[in-house]
Amino acid sequence: MQLILASASPRRRELIARLGLEPSGIAPADIDETPQKGELPRDYAQRMAREKALAVNAEGHVLAGDTVVAAGRRILPKAEDEATARQCLDILSGRRHRVLSAIALKAPDGTVRERLSDTIVRFKRLSTEEIASYLASGEWEGKAGGYAIQGAAEGLIQRIDGSHSGVVGLPLYETRALLKAAGFKIG
């Protein structure tokens, strides 16, 4: 059975390898990722994963995912510049937030199975120096909410309740369940 990963993310490739799988191909989905007016973070994450899976035309199964950092009902952006990353870290400092990691698996017949991981993360209160130091690392670039838990930001997190791999970008428990249900052999 072929598995196409609808993502160029090296983190997702590393995570899928932890399940003992090597994608047959990589086909990043090119879709509009703008949240709809009034769209809640959970709905947005699920819609993005589903639309990414459906956008890839390939033989075999297509696995797509999307990770959203949410402060209340607010969807925090992917940090494309330092000012956005600083704004995200200011919002997250000293409070808890949700990381919603949705996955969708499109079968060759076009049917889509979906799962969602909902993780609560709490940052310590960040000092100006800690934020400046983290920004200088560059780890925040292109990351939802302006941080990468698999790097230096992990030392700024007081507590995590849920899926660590989901915060990184691919919830392994949910991914494993979807792939097993589709007939993939996973140990």
| Count of alpha carbons within 13 angstroms of residue 80, beta-carbon side | 1
Q: In this model, does residue 108 exceed pLDDT 80? A: yes
Average pLDDT for the chain: 96
- Work out the pLDDT band at 1, boundaries 50, 70, 90: confident
Which pLDDT tens digit goes with each residue over 133-168?
999 999 999 999 999 999 999 999 999 999 999 999
- Kindly state the DSSP code that residue 126 receives in the 8-state scheme: P
Residue 144 bridge partners (DSSP):
78
Crossing angle (nearest 10°) for helices 128-137 and 82-92: 140
Amino acid at 10: P
Query: Which entry of 66, 81, 90, 109 is annotated as an active-site residue?
Result: 66
pTM over 0.85: yes
Residue 109 annotated as catalytic: no
- Domains (range + CATH), the chain: 3-182 (3.90.950.10)
